[in-house]
Chains A and B, each alone.
Chain A
Amino acid sequence: MAPFRRDMFWRHAGGLSLGLFFMTALATGAAQAQSAPGTDGFASAAPVGALEAPSLTPPPAPGLNFYGTPGLIDMPSAEMLPDGHFATTFSWFGGQSRYNLTFQALPWLSASFRYNGIRNLNLFGFSTYYDRGFDVRFRLLRERRYLPELTMGLQDFAGTGVYAAEYLVATKRIETPPLRFGGAAGRVPGQLKITAGLGWGRLGSHGAIGKIGGNRPSFVGGSTGGQLSYDQWFRGDFAPFAGVEWQANERWSFKAEYSSDAYRTETRASNVFERKSQVNLGLEYQRSPTTRIGAYYLYGSEFGVTAQFQLKPRHPMVPTQVPAPAPIVPRSQWATEAAHWSQDWAQSQNKRVEVRDLVAEDLKSHGLVLEAIDLKGTEAEVRFRNPRYRSYAIAVGRVARTMARALPPSVETFRIIPVRSGMGLSATVVRRSDLEDLEFAPEAVDGLAAVTAVTAAGPLPETAIFSGELYPAFSHSISPYADPAYFDPSRPFRMDLGVDLSASYAPAPGWRISGAIRQRVWGNVQDGRASNSVLPHVRTDQSFYAQHGTTLESLYVDRSWQPRHNFYARLRAGLFEAMYGGISGEVLWKPVASPLALGLETNYVIQRDYDQRFSFRDYKTFTGHASAYLELGKNYQAQVDVGRYLAGDYGATFSLFREFENGFKVGGFFTRTNVSAADFGEGSFDKGFYFRIPLGWLIGKESRNAYGLTIRPIQRDGGQRVGGVGGLYGDVRDAHRSSLTAQRARAWE
């Protein structure tokens, strides 16, 4: 083979066999490598002894019980999940199925939601009785050398109370030698967990040893529910329960317990199963760090199973992978003559347009879009859109690299401004020579953060030139959709599937005309039950809206702008969502470094006709809220909205969220308005919880998409808000100082 020049090799190697060989050099995931020739030269590498290299693997999580909380089989234990864990479990025995969601909100506090079905209960007018409930658990004492962990739990504390119970439980863990069997390497020691507790309510129904405060008010099936049943808590009979779990190794766990639940309703009032014993036995297998399955023999007569899935929001399913950026080549290596450093170029419009196009082109390679650029002799400002990266820190870092690569050497100060809907969100100011010097510094991350400032974006300079490709812009998409509906007593889960055709047109910065047509292909939401609400049916006519297969989902004109420093505003007119159209305005005050934001949203809306075309029903209303948003630290956010709701009711919504830096979000909310519990109907007041799982967290690829879901135990008409409007806070916060600082490690990626 003839020798060839270096640059030719890389340009033309694709066609050569040797080149092909080197061109197919691999990175992770691309393909399987063949065995490397002659790697035995490394054999003299010292064997790593018992100590292992530092690890990112989270600590092992305790197994969950039939109620989805840490525990034995049907009984709880005092253990807590690792902070932030999000667990879903399914359990089944004797015709009773429970779907549980548990979130470890704080190291010492967890909350659970449960949906359960009891087959053949034949009570309260249902053959299969479906119910929903919430649990909350508090750790009172941490485990010490000789002291056990102590936890207090309130089970099904606010629903109709079919599973209502309270308990105090203690668990002590004792290390056992590592055992190698059943697919476990036996490197990790085992644990013997001994649990004992006292239960009230359902957990005090067998073998009671005492009584507090007279008889416990009894469970009323089919009542409205929703109110805190504090008059029952820790009242009436109490009974002991106990058990042991032997987590033999990282795979297998054996469980045995003595239950204090007599299953009175299921076995005496009805005939769901036959209870012969209070002793339950079980075996669990940890299939993967996420998945655990278990098989059990319960109450001397029934087999049971569980499937447990534990998601760790801080630990993505697949760690993110982004292509390596080109390095920053210091100007000292390529701008070697004095003439290279001249600022004359900045005077020439042609030259500036040329630089703009160069920057726009390079940004595209990072998946970013140039909005506008302002060029001066020693300073440059780039405004860009970020359709790819969940973290604005990496987007800002990539823009800085592009600027260091594409701008003339005389430019020393970079101002980098993410833009959304034409609004500049923040300005990161960084010096080019710092980028050149710090890229491979031992403490590159903190070093750069120390010399970078994040400030308000400020207005667009008059000398800025817009991208030549953006306005006017038309875009469209055809995409499948899934629209679920929950908790109808006759069918707990319904779904519509179909295709969305959406299009938008942006005539100028900040302006957008957007619309979506929806075609249902399959679905059964239309068979849902009719509303019995005594309030205006502002949300409960879902099944009427689902009667129509082809609908106009939305069509509106939208204008976003920054009226003044630290203020963001949006006006929208048209059809916002399936049920409402009208006119909406929102103003948000959010300084770039402030943990507090204030907002005001007002809407005049008209209810749309069931066919969801251009006609309206006879219901019009003013609705609007004043909102306060507060970052509490440690990823917690609180929000309070006070105002008038769709049914004309006045009140306030309280929300508490935990949003991890990767966008994984879990939280809950409740709304109290001047509608009485009786008028509201089942549930007494509006409440629910929310979670959002970012796509990037699941697939390990950069993406701004996420799967979000709000679940209400019951959908009623009180405390409801119009959809498809608002949202300025969420749009803005991501790119502000707290996020950029917390995620600063990504700036160098």
Chain B
Amino acid sequence: MIAPRIRRALRNSLGAVAAVFALAACTGGQQEAGLELEILKTVRDQVKLRLKDKPERPPVTRALLDSLDDTYIEVRVEDSDLLAYLRPLLVKQDSTPGTLTLWVTEDSVTLALREGVLTATRGLRNDMLSASTLVTETGGRMGPRGQGARRYEIAALDNRSEVFTLACTVSDLGPETIEIVELTYQTRHLQEHCESESGLVVNDYWVDSRSGHLWQSRQWAGPTIGYMRIRQLTL
């Protein structure tokens, strides 16, 4: 119980510090905040974030998921070990094959999946601006097929983008049974192997043997974000 008390004390003293800042530095009207002000504000926000209580999470159970009316996917970023639950924000068809679904976290990070294949991220650092996919049809079996080039365009460096074009081949690694929160699915494990001089990317997809629905995948989202593990929790 000591830790929360310390945290509370810190938070209170932080409030005092913030008040001092507020007296010593403030702005009003349409004028842009100056450099010094913005630095103070950034420091203040960072300290606040550090001291904030981390939310406790109840375990995800099928019973809990069944009580939900909405569709959810779970996304875990491997390198940073971050976890989020996303709901669909937009479903659309454009002039590129495949239905596109835009998924959103509560704090406005979005992932665009075309038939389950990641094509864009927004709201992260060095976002994937766009990516071509090996999706060839709309509404059939989800995931990529065949072989061809994949072009990843990543927001990077000084307000520009970096493009990585990789030669990809999709192979079927055979049947696999996977479990997602107490439910098992018979799937085929597809692997997309992409290579170029700039490096190697291996994306994995687990697609339902019968319905062709993509239940689970592990996909590369760019050099900074790294690999993401995506699972469909509810339909």
Contacts and interface: CB of A to CB of B under 8 A. Distances in A.
B27 A36 contact: no
B156 A3 contact: no
A5 B37 CA distance: 44
B151 interface: yes
A662 B84 contact: no
B229 to A, nearest CB: 5
A175 interface: no
Interface in A311-364: 313-316, 318-327, 329-330, 333
A25 interface: yes
Contact of B86 (A25, A56, A330): A25
A442 B132 contact: yes
Interface residues of A, number: 111
A212 interface: no
A51 B220 CA distance: 14
A314 B58 CA distance: 43
B131 A442 contact: yes
B180 A27 contact: no
B34 A327 contact: no
B52 to A, nearest CB: 7
B55 A477 contact: no
Given A743-B160, A745-B129, A28 B119 contact: no
B82 A28 contact: yes
A8 to B, nearest CB: 9
Nearest to B224: A319
Given A44-B189, A48-B200, A36 B158 contact: no
A721 interface: no
A25 B106 contact: yes
A705 B107 CA distance: 25
B115 interface: no
Contact of B81 (A18, A33, A385): A33
A445 B223 contact: no
A21 B61 CA distance: 12
Nearest to B201: A53
Contacts of B137: none
B204 interface: yes
B92 A330 contact: yes
A21 B37 contact: no
Interface in A215-249: none
A35 B58 CA distance: 12
A661 B160 contact: yes
Contact of A475 (B29, B89, B110, B181): B29
Nearest to A500: B34
A695 interface: yes
Given A33-B82, A445-B161, A746-B155, A479 B32 contact: no
A52 interface: yes
B28 A477 contact: yes
Contacts of B176: 44
B60 to A, nearest CB: 6
A37 B100 contact: no
Interface string A458-485: 0000000000001001111111111000
A24 B57 contact: yes
Contacts of A36: 74, 76, 83, 229
B156 A53 contact: no
Nearest to A482: B36
A706 interface: yes
B172 interface: no
B24 A478 contact: yes
A745 B159 contact: yes
Contact of A440 (B119, B153, B180): B119
A437 interface: yes
B31 A475 contact: yes
Nearest to A742: B160
Contacts of A369: 30
A32 interface: yes
Contacts of A532: none
Interface string A695-710: 1000111011111000
Interface of B: 24-40, 42, 49, 52, 54-55, 57-60, 64, 67-70, 72, 74, 76-77, 80-87, 89-90, 92, 94-96, 100, 102, 104-110, 112, 114, 119-120, 122-127, 129-133, 151-162, 164, 166, 173, 176, 178-181, 189, 191, 193, 195-196, 198-202, 204, 206, 216, 218, 220, 223-224, 226-227, 229, 231
20 contacts: A9-B68, A9-B70, A25-B84, A26-B83, A26-B105, A33-B76, A42-B204, A46-B193, A48-B202, A54-B152, A54-B201, A56-B224, A323-B108, A387-B32, A438-B94, A440-B119, A474-B29, A476-B28, A477-B33, A745-B160
7 closest A-B pairs by beta carbon, nearest first, are A475-B29, A324-B123, A324-B122, A475-B31, A442-B132, A745-B161, A51-B200
